Structure 1
Amino acid sequence: MIKKLLSNKGQISMEFAILMMVVVTTSTILTYYLMKSAISIKDTSVKAINETANTAEKALSTV
């Protein structure tokens, strides 16, 4: 009976460790894709800002 109690505690500990590993792995993967998406949005926004600035500069230079 004592062996079974110790085994259950070890099993719970192992399950908790696996759960924490899954949480950390998932959050790492999610962070990677979030950062990749943010960099892509930044590049797109910079391109749009540059195009707007160039258009405004052309419009003001003709005045």
Structure 2
Amino acid sequence: MAEPLIVRREVQIAAPPATVFAFLTDPDKIVRWMGTEATAEPNPGGLYLLNLGGRATARGQFT
């Protein structure tokens, strides 16, 4: 069985952690900076779904 693809990236942002967290977990804030539609259930195992305007879809889960 093939290993699953795991993508990890670190970025330093000059903002308080609570502000950054909100822009990564609140669907209304997510679509302000990327995508056209978002679903987020920010708890372990919760759904992360992002429609990138018909170009692509990102889907994953919170860990």
Structure 1 length-normalised TM: 0.22
Richer in helix (by share): 1
* Pair member with larger Rg: 1
Structure 2 length-normalised TM: 0.22
Richer in strand (by share): 2
